[in-house]
A and B are shown apart, each in its own frame.
Chain A
Amino acid sequence: MIDQTTEQAAIAREAMPAPGLTARWWTAFMRFIRTKPLGAVGGLIVVLLVLVAALAPVLSPYDPRSTPALPWESPNADFLLGADYVGRDVLSRLIYGARISLYVGLGSVLVGITASFIIGVALTYIGGIVDMVAQRIVDALMSLPGLLIALAIMAVVTPSLNTVILAIVIGMIAPVIRTVRSQVLSLKELDYVTAATAIGAPPWRIIFRHIVPNCFATYLVLATYYLGFAIIIESSLSFLGVGTPPDQPSWGGMLVRAASAHVKSGPWLAICPGLAIFLVVMGFNLLGDALRDVFDPRLRGR
C-alpha cells in the first residue's frame, strides 16, 4: 500500500517535473529582477559579455590580428572604432578581447576559488599545528598586493594565457582561504552539524552533506567578485607588458600605446578598451552585491 502510493507519487513527479521546476525558477528569476534591479543590470552585462565572446567570429568585421587599416586611422564607416598603432581594427580587437577576459576570469576563479575551498575546508578539519602554520603562510601572502604577486610570478614563467591565470590564482588565494576558513568554522558550530556528529556521521559525510552545500552561496558570491578582480589584474599585467602576449587582443594591452604623450593617438583608443573593462567589472560587482544580499539577508543594503 505504502509502496504503491510512493510509486504513484514518483510517476506523478516524473510526468510533470519540468513545468513545476521551470515555473519556480521563473518566479525566483522575476523576483530577483524586481527586487534587485542593479543586480539584474549586472547580470545583463555578464550575459552580453558571454554572448560577445561566444559569437566573436560572427560579430567582428576583421581578423583581430590582421592590419586592414592605416596606423591610427580615425573611426569611419569601414572601421567603426578606428585603428590602433599598426592599423588593426579596434572594434574587432575589442570583441575578441571579450574572449580573453572571460577565459582568464573564469579560469582563475574556477581554479583559484575551488582550490581555496579545498584547502580552507581541509585546514579546519586537520587543525592543530598544520592549520596554524598555514594561517601564518596566508598572513605572509596577504602582505603582498595581488598585482605584485602576479608580477613576480610573470617574471619567472613564459607569458601565456595559462601562466597569467596561474599568476592571478596565486595572488588571490590567500584572502579567499581566509574567508572560507572562517565560514567553515562558523558552520561547524551550528546545531545541525552537532546533531549529525551526535548520530555518528563520519567527517566526510558532514563535510559533503552539511558543510559544502552550505558554502555554495559563499562560493558563488566570491566567484563573482573575483571574476572582476581577475579581469583587472589580467588587463593590468598586459598594460605593463608582462601579461597576455601582445599579439593577443587583451583589453589591457590595447591601452598600452593609447596615452603615450610622444605618439599622436586617437581618443577612441584611450576610451574603448578601458570602458569595456570598466563595464564588465562593474557588471560582476553589481551581480555579486545582489547575490550576496539574496543569500545573506543580514548584509542587505550595506
Chain B
Amino acid sequence: MTQYLIRRLLLFIPTMLLATILVFALFSIVPGDAAVFLLTGEDASGTVTDADFERLREDLGLNRPIYVQYADWLWGVVRGDLGISLYYGQPFGFELIERFARTFELAVLAIVMAFVAAVPLGIISAMKQDSGVDYASRVIALVGIAMPTFWIGVLVIYGLVYGTGWLPPLEYAHLWEDPLQNLKLMVLPAAVIGFHDMAFTARVTRSAMLEVMREDYMRTARSKGLREWVVVGRHALKNAMLPVITVSGYQFGRLLGGVIIVEQIFVVPGVGNFLIDAINHRDFPVIQGVILMTAVVVLLLNLIIDMFYGVLDPRIRYS
C-alpha cells in the first residue's frame, strides 16, 4: 500500500514539472515575443524603433537565455509570485486565486448537482433495463452529451429574460459574507454546467450497474433471501460506484472548460472572464497563470482519486 502511494507520488512530480514546462514553452515560441505585442499595440499598428524594443526586452528579461527565463519564472511560481500583468502593469496572483476560488466553487456545485441527479437515474435505468424509464434516461444522456454547454446557457438566459424579465445580477455576493445570496447566484450556472456531466455520469452509472449485476455474488445475495434494496444498495452500488467516481473525477478538468464559458454568460467574476480578457489583450503572464493553476488543480485531483482508488480497490494497489 505504502509502496503504491509512494510510486504514485513520485509519478506526480515529473508530470507537474512537465506541465510547467509546457505552459512556459507555449508562450516562448510565440513569433516575435511579448515585447512586440506590447509596443505595437493590440492591432499591431504601432511603430517601434530597435532601441525601444531592446530596452523593453531587457526590462521584461526576454533577452536572457530561455532556460534562465524558465528557471526564474518557476522560482517565482513556487514562491507564489506569478509575475506582473503586462496589460495592467501590476501583480495579479492574489486576484487570480480569488477568482479561481469562485470558479472552483461553481465547478464543485455543478459536479455535486450532476452526481445527485445522475446516480439515481443510472441505477433505475439499470434496474429496469429496456423499460420506459431506461429509454428516457438514455435519451437524456444522449441529448445531454451532445448539447454544447454554452447553448444551454444561452437558452436558459433567453428563457428567463424573455419569460420573466430577469437579468443576470451584476452584483456578486461572496460565499463567506452572504452564503444564501451567493448560492442563489450560483445554482443556475452550476446546473447549466452540470447538465453535460449528469448525462455522462448517468450513462457510466448505468453500464457499471449492469456489469455488477451479472456477477455471481449478486445471485448469492439474492438467493440468501436479502431484500432487494439491500442487494442493490449494499452489494451492487458499492462496487459499481468505483468507476463512476473515477470517471467523474477525471471529468472535472473538462468541467472547468465549461465553467469558463458559462461564467461569461452568467457574468460570474471567475477565472473565465479573466482569461478571455487576458487573451484579448495578449496578456501572456495572466494566461500562463490561469493555465498553470488549472493544471495544478486537475493533477492534484487526479492524484487524490488515484490514491483513493488504491485504498478502495486492492487490485490497483498490487498491479
**Residues on A close to B: CB < 8 A?**
136-137, 139-148, 151-156, 228, 232, 235-236, 239-242, 252, 255, 258-259, 261, 265, 267, 270-271, 273-274, 277-278, 281-282, 285-286, 302
Contact = CB atoms under 8 A, between A and B. Distances in A.
Given A235-B148, A255-B151, A278-B146, A152 B261 contact: no
Contacts of B162: 267
Contacts of A145: 253-257, 294, 298
Interface residues of B, number: 57
Contacts of A143: 15, 19, 253, 294-295, 298-299, 302
Contacts of A261: 157, 161, 167-168
Given A144-B295, A239-B261, A155 B254 contact: no
Given A154-B279, A240-B276, A139 B18 contact: yes
A239 to B, nearest CB: 5
B268 interface: no
B100 interface: no
Interface in B6-62: 11, 14-16, 18-19, 21-23, 26-27, 29-30
Contacts of A139: 11, 15, 18
Contacts of A228: 146
Q: Which one of A228, A236, A265 has the greatest number of beta carbons of chain B within 10 Å?
A: A236
A239 B276 CA distance: 11
Contact of B150 (A154, A156, A239, A271): A239
The 6 tightest CB contacts between A and B, nearest first, are A274-B151, A147-B257, A145-B257, A282-B146, A140-B18, A259-B154
B265 interface: yes
Interface string B143-172: 101111111011101100110000110000
Contacts of B265: 259
Given A270-B154, A274-B148, A140 B15 contact: yes
B295 A236 contact: no
A235 B207 CA distance: 30
Contacts of B26: 152-153, 156
Nearest to A283: B146
Nearest to B296: A143
A79 B258 CA distance: 33
Contacts of B15: 136, 139-140, 143
Interface stretch (B71-79, B109-117, B221-229, B280-288): B280-288
B257 A136 contact: no
B275 interface: yes
Contact of A148 (B18, B149, B154, B291): B291
Given A137-B18, A274-B155, A281 B148 contact: yes
Contacts of B278: 155
Contact of A240 (B16, B22, B210, B261): B261
A154 B150 CA distance: 19
Nearest to A255: B154
B280 to A, nearest CB: 7
Contacts of B155: 259, 270-271, 274
Given A242-B280, A271-B155, A146 B148 contact: no
A207 B18 CA distance: 30
Interface string B101-142: 000000000000000000000000000000000000000001
Q: Which one of B158, B260, B278 has the greatest number of beta carbons of chain A within 10 Å?
A: B158
A19 B29 CA distance: 56
Contacts of B167: 261
B210 to A, nearest CB: 8
Given A143-B295, A148-B260, A261-B168, A255 B150 contact: yes
A2 to B, nearest CB: 53
B146 A259 contact: no
B150 A147 contact: no
Q: Which one of B154, B168, B255, B302 has the greatest number of beta carbons of chain A within 10 Å?
A: B154
A144 B253 contact: yes
Interface in B240-270: 253-258, 260-261, 264-265
Contacts of A281: 146, 148
Contacts of B282: 155
A154 B275 CA distance: 12
A267 B159 CA distance: 9
A147 B258 CA distance: 8
A161 to B, nearest CB: 18
B257 A146 contact: yes
Nearest to A271: B155
Contacts of A137: 18, 22
A148 B294 contact: yes
14 contacts: A140-B18, A140-B21, A144-B294, A145-B255, A147-B254, A147-B261, A154-B279, A155-B284, A156-B284, A236-B150, A240-B261, A261-B157, A270-B154, A270-B158
A242 to B, nearest CB: 5
Contact of A144 (B11, B153, B154, B298): B298
A259 B279 contact: no
Contacts of A232: 148
B142 A286 contact: yes
Given A143-B253, A143-B298, A242-B280, A151 B154 contact: no
